[in-house]
Structure 1
Amino acid sequence: MCDLAVFLAGQRGEGDWALVDVHDVEAFLATLPKGRKRRLTVLRQFFGFARLQHLVLVDPTRGLTVKETNGYRGRTLTLDQQRDLFRRWICDDAHPHETLLGMLALLHGASIAEVRILQVHDIDPAARTVRLGKRPHPVPLDPASWTVLQRCLAHREAWSTENPHVMVTKGAKVGRSPASTAYLSHVLDECGYPPRMVRGTRLVDLVNTMDPKLVAAAFGMDPQAALIYPADRVDPGRMPADTNSSAG
């Protein structure tokens, strides 16, 4: 219990066991997520004893579960990192496969699976839209995304392949199967950020600025899947200017 006492005194400004509540306990458990089960067991024993000794009136661990609240725990990109990636992908230096997967993930929240199975007939040149995975409606592409898609199609044409997929590799050009998942998992290695992190950034942004149910419907996701993305903090760069400073 020494760790909890130090945490309460240093982080929560509390020095009396009677003042400890469930929020204090949750904050302490969050400092070591992998040790939640073990720590919660010890805390329950301690506060059970403390209640019998009348050190506390209410057991703050009552109602807490061993399993943590579900939520998105992946890393996300900062605004500066997103800008750097956007600039990288609109240039001609990066590989066409990297730019396509990266741009679709960054701007449209596309997953590896969605990009992997994207076929030429899923593209509507007149409307400048693509069909991604199980999404119920075609996805309109912005000029930058459309440009990198055309670059990827030009790369595909160089293979002289009958493979219907947009992203074709040397090994897949002789057949009709999509590129391997393993290949796409490493397509963004050169930029330094995994596809999951890039996509997660977009989904976190959308879910926190729109109704999660609408996002789930647009992406063809289970409504519960979208609910893991609401963030518990806001990046300072996303905050509006302090209106109080201009009041007067």
Structure 2
Amino acid sequence: MGALARALETFFTGHGMAMATDQAERLAAGRRQRRIDAVPETLRPAVDAFADLMMRSRERARRAGTRPRSDSTVEAALAIMRDLARFLASERGKEDWALTDVHDVEAFLAGSPKARKRRLVVLGQFFRFARSRKIVLVDPSHGLTSRGVSGFTGATLTLDQQRVLFRRWTTDPVVHPHEALLGMLALLHSASSREVKMLQTADLDPRARAARLGDRPHPVPLDPASWAVLERCLAHREAQRTDNPHVMVPRQTKSGRGQASTAYVSHVLDACGFPPRMIRCTRLLDLGNTMDPKLVAAALGMDPEATMIYLADHVDTGRLSNQSKTAGEVTCRT
């Protein structure tokens, strides 16, 4: 269904002149099927049966007048099972659900600590279903808690990778200005995707070469390399002849005044091969371990607890005194 057909449907159904089509249901069914098809073939039948169970449960909930699962909830559950199946097949070399153990589940949950609680709920539902169908003998998710490790466990960039990205964004004229802007602000100023997409021309101070980012209490002074990238992005915006006040203006928003969509920003750095979160966490990890985390939190407009998780559990030997180094060497020799 195209944009015109959707607009006409909204108009006629809103005025009671026509019945709503099943377009949304057909689209949701297609999204569910794509997630099921992405599961490795040997593990797919169990996920397909689990999807049927969720759909039947939703129909029973509708008839009973209770709260049924939404399409997004079902799709998120199927996406989690797709990711687990891929993890088992590629990382663990297991092609049968019966071979899954608690160590496999724990390793999968550790891959995304922030989604641990949601993932564990879905895994519990699936393995209880699988056990009732004799697909597995035991529930490998039983006994696991939603509380994971409290420290930072994500991936970061090495120094060589940071140098490569810096040269890419400052010297390569082929790189899109939006990629260079988001990458440089994240790499050098720990800017989030939200702060970059909300940045407007009114937030810039050309005389001081500073910019107001998000909820930070003070303008952020930009180094010459970052300011040059910002000017390149402004030139790209000027070439579009748009009245949109934001600095990052994609094609979809140049005729309006809204900010770039989350989907667009999340894919801006696809060409460099690293997600924005990894680049920002690299900078936050460095700041948290070289400065006072409370001062970092105050400068970035964050809660003090948010920067404490980036503290490492070891001390760099280069920061120890000679006496401490000697004691450490003696301990290592012992």
- Is 1:208 paired with 2:308? no
**TM-score in terms of structure 1 length:** 0.69
Gaps of 5+ in 1: 1-27, 36-64
- The secondary structure found in structure 1 opposite 2:252 is coil
Higher relative CO (CA 8 A, sep ≥ 6), structure 1 or 2?
1
- Is 1:173 paired with 2:267? no
Q: Alpha-carbon deviation of 1:240?
A: 7.0
- The secondary structure found in structure 2 opposite 1:74 is coil
What is the match of residue 73 of structure 1?
153
- The secondary structure found in structure 1 opposite 2:294 is helix
In 2, the alpha carbon distance for the partners of 1:241 and 1:70 equals: 26
In 2, the alpha carbon distance for the partners of 1:233 and 1:93 equals: 41
- AA of the residue aligned to 1:141: L
In 2, the alpha carbon distance for the partners of 1:168 and 1:66 equals: 39
What is the match of residue 83 of structure 1?
163
Give percent identity, aligned residues only.
64
Deviation string for 1:13-38 (max 9, x for gaps)?
xxxxxxxxxxxxxxx9xx95849xxx
In 1, the alpha carbon distance for the partners of 2:167 and 2:313 equals: 29
CA RMSD of aligned residues (A): 2.8
Change (3 A) 1:93 1:136: same
Deviation string for 1:149-178 (max 9, x for gaps)?
000000000110000000001110000000
In 1, the alpha carbon distance for the partners of 2:235 and 2:315 equals: 40
What is the match of residue 18 of structure 2?
none
Q: Alpha-carbon deviation of 1:228?
A: 1.0
Change (3 A) 1:97 1:211: same
Pick from 209, 212, 218 the counterpart of residue 137 of structure 1.
Answer: 218
What is the match of residue 204 of structure 2?
123
Q: Alpha-carbon deviation of 1:198?
A: 0.2
- The secondary structure found in structure 1 opposite 2:148 is coil
Deviation string for 1:64-110 (max 9, x for gaps)?
x9833411111000011000100000012211000000000000000
- AA of the residue aligned to 2:250: T
Pick from 110, 113, 121 the counterpart of residue 191 of structure 2.
Answer: 110
In 2, the alpha carbon distance for the partners of 1:128 and 1:73 equals: 35
- AA of the residue aligned to 2:295: L
- AA of the residue aligned to 1:123: L
In 2, the alpha carbon distance for the partners of 1:85 and 1:161 equals: 29
In 2, the alpha carbon distance for the partners of 1:229 and 1:144 equals: 26
**TM-score in terms of structure 2 length:** 0.52
- Count of residue correspondences: 187
**Which has a greater percent of helix?**
2
